[in-house]
Amino acid sequence: MKDNSSNVFLVRHGEATAKWGQDFDPGLSKRGFEQSEAVTSIFSERFRGPLKIISSPLLRAKQTAAPLAKCFNTNVEIDHAYQEIISPHGLAARQAWLKRFMGETWESQPQELIEWRMIAIKSLRNITPGTVIYTHFMVINTLVGWLVDSQATVTFRPDNCSVTELKLDKDQFTLVKLGGELPSVVN
């Protein structure tokens, strides 16, 4: 068993039943539930527990976190700091907006998105080591971009249920390993 005392893990939620432009808060698809069980197996084999578990308040993230919480007989803490990026547009226009946004930089973003980014970064800075955070594509990109000092809004494309590992040492985070990547559309 490896020691998890200084690690923090960012897990992208499992496959959702709808794409980002189709539903504000979809749950997991059958495949998403299978992915959440598979990532739970990885953590249960690697750690004896307990791990602190945090989730975005969105259904797909909470459903992905649930098997690990059950495995370690613990609760999932909900934290709005890890909720998917806010869209300045309604449901109909948000898919097109996201595609444009993903090719931009943080310097060109409106204040509401800069504030969203800073909330996620601030929350990560206050995180307890030994924590698994179930979150979303853009949150993971925001945090990884901050860690590697990139202004790009997208630094990589985390697959559903990919695990990005960070190490916390003396109040400093380092990126240990990016999660598996997906070359497709965000869902």
Domain membership of residue 17 as a residue range: 7-177
**Domain assignment present for 133:** yes
**Domain assignment present for 49:** yes
Q: Any idea how long the chain is?
A: 187
Domain count, the chain: 1
Strand order in the sheet with 7-12: 76-78, 52-55, 131-135, 7-12, 163-169, 172-177
- Give the pLDDT of residue 172: 87
At residue 76, φ and ψ (nearest 5 deg) are -100, 125
**Domain assignment present for 31:** yes
Beta-bridge partner residues of 169:
172
**Domain assignment present for 187:** no
**Domain assignment present for 185:** no
pLDDT of the chain, 187 residues: tens digit per residue:
444 557 999 999 999 998 766 777 899 999 999 999 999 999 999 888 778 999 999 999 999 999 999 999 999 999 999 999 987 777 778 888 888 999 999 999 999 999 999 999 999 999 988 999 999 999 999 999 999 999 999 999 999 999 999 998 888 899 999 999 986 555 4
**Domain assignment present for 2:** no
Single pTM value for the model: 0.92
47 CB neighbour count, 10 Å cutoff: 19
Q: Which domain CATH number covers 125?
A: 3.40.50.1240
**Domain assignment present for 115:** yes
Place of tokens 């990885």: 42
